[in-house]
Amino acid sequence: MYVLSVRGGDVSFIARHLPDGWFSLASGPATQALAASFPLPGLLAAAVLGALVLVVYDTALLYNLGHLGAQVIPGAVVLIAVRYGARSFP
């Protein structure tokens, strides 16, 4: 909606940061009508890269979960120490 309403369908402002073909805009009559009637389309600007952000976050999360086994014991020691310290020093 943001790209259609605010940018008139032009994705060049963000396309230089993404691979070719990243944006395949749906431009049928229903999408055009929704874009024309959407109130305050500028508020959707943050959603332009939303899918990319979620993919990167999920990838990083899965990578880090794969290395979790080596970090469980040191992490637990730190959490216990912090919890004990919080109780000891008001």
CA distance 90 to 46: 41
Average pLDDT of every residue of the chain: 77
Residue 23 predicted with pLDDT over 70 = no
Tens digit of each residue's pLDDT (9 = 90 or more) over 60-79: 888 888 878 888 888 889 99
Query: Which segments within 1-90 are labelled E, that is strand?
Result: none
pTM here is: 0.30
CA distance 71 to 51: 29
